[in-house]
Amino acid sequence: MKADPKLYRAYLLKEGLRQVFKLPLYDARTALEGWVQWAPRSRIPAFVKLQRSIVKHRDRTLAAIEHGLSNGLIESTNTKIRLITRMAFGFRSAEALIALAILSLGPHRPALPGRT
């Protein structure tokens, strides 16, 4: 804290917002209000910008907390598909890429020769 108070404030803001998403809706609403008031006072540009975005999309943010929704799984799948696409450069057809994606990400796991 003594070395870099701005960094410490940023850490506390990050952890405070992280905690909001772990709380039940009623408590999260109260905690989010506190965070929204705290962030602009920090005068850290990234958090001030984030605070504006959260205020703009407050209802959507609270709905995500209420229903436990996140786009993390979709983002993970997109990243895996990008990796598979890079591996598929040199395949002769798009069908090979699609088959590789289905095998890698789909629920079907056929038994491969020589493997148990």
- In this structure, how many other beta carbons lie within 10 angstroms of the beta carbon of residue 28? 20
So what's the pLDDT on residue 72? Answer: 85
Residue ranges of the chain with per-residue pLDDT less than 70: 1-2, 116
So what's the pLDDT on residue 38? Answer: 95
- C-alpha 44/C-alpha 16 separation (Å) is 15
| Domain end (from 52, 67, 82) | 67
| 49-60 pLDDT tens trace | 999 999 999 999
Same domain, 95 and 43: no
So what's the pLDDT on residue 100? Answer: 86
Here the tokens at position 75 are: 């983002």
Taking phi over 0 as left and psi of -120 to 50 as alpha, with beta for the rest, 68 belongs to: left
So what's the pLDDT on residue 39? Answer: 95
So what's the pLDDT on residue 2? Answer: 65
Residue 110 forms part of a structural domain: no
**Total of domains in the chain:** 2
Same domain, 24 and 62: yes
Residue 86 forms part of a structural domain: yes
So what's the pLDDT on residue 116? Answer: 63
Residue 88 forms part of a structural domain: yes
Q: What is the pTM of this model?
A: 0.64
Tell me which residue range forms the domain holding 55.
5-67
